Each structure stands twice: as C-alpha cells, then as structure tokens.
Amino acid sequence: MLQIYEEERNDRVKQPEDKEEGDQEMVTAPPTEAAADPIVQINTRVRASFRRRVRMAAAAQDINVETLINRALEEYMDKRDL
C-alpha cells in the first residue's frame, strides 16, 4: 500500500531535474554583509536612572534604544581602534 502511494505521489510531484518550457534556474545572490554578520543579542545591567536617560535620548533623536546603543558602542570602539 505504501509503495503504491509513493508511486502515485511521485507522479504528481515535480522533481528538481524536471524542467518545463519557461522554467528558469533560480540564481541566488552572494550573502550580503548583514547575512554574513547576523544580529545577536547582548545583555548588561545598568541603573534604572541610566536606562531612563538612554530611553529619553533615543526618543529625543526619534530612534529606538537599540540604534542609539549600537551607534554609541560603534563610536566608542572606533575612537579606540578596537
């Protein structure tokens, strides 16, 4: 019974080597910098008052906290050639 089902299924399913007129090969682009360097999470503890200041600074610049912290850390590392 299973063999019959598999044979019927194989008749319906288009196999990768099967090509029909008009089919195009899928070409994938090389990985982008973002894909090659994925975003990961980093955690730290700060005082509540500092977190409030960070949130206020982000809101004042109309950016999210993640963007503000990323920019600040990038600037810190760049200034120190790290």
Judge whether residue 53 has pLDDT over 60.
Answer: yes
Are 68 and 55 a contacting pair, CB within 8 Å? no
What percent of the chain is modeled with pLDDT above 90? 55
Burial 38-57 (b: 16+ CB within 10 A, else e): eeeeeeeeeeeeeeeeeeee
Structure tokens at 1: 């019974």
pLDDT above 80 (res 47): yes
Mean pLDDT for 26-36 is: 73
Domain parsing of the chain, residue ranges: 45-82
The better pLDDT of the pair 77, 23 is held by 77
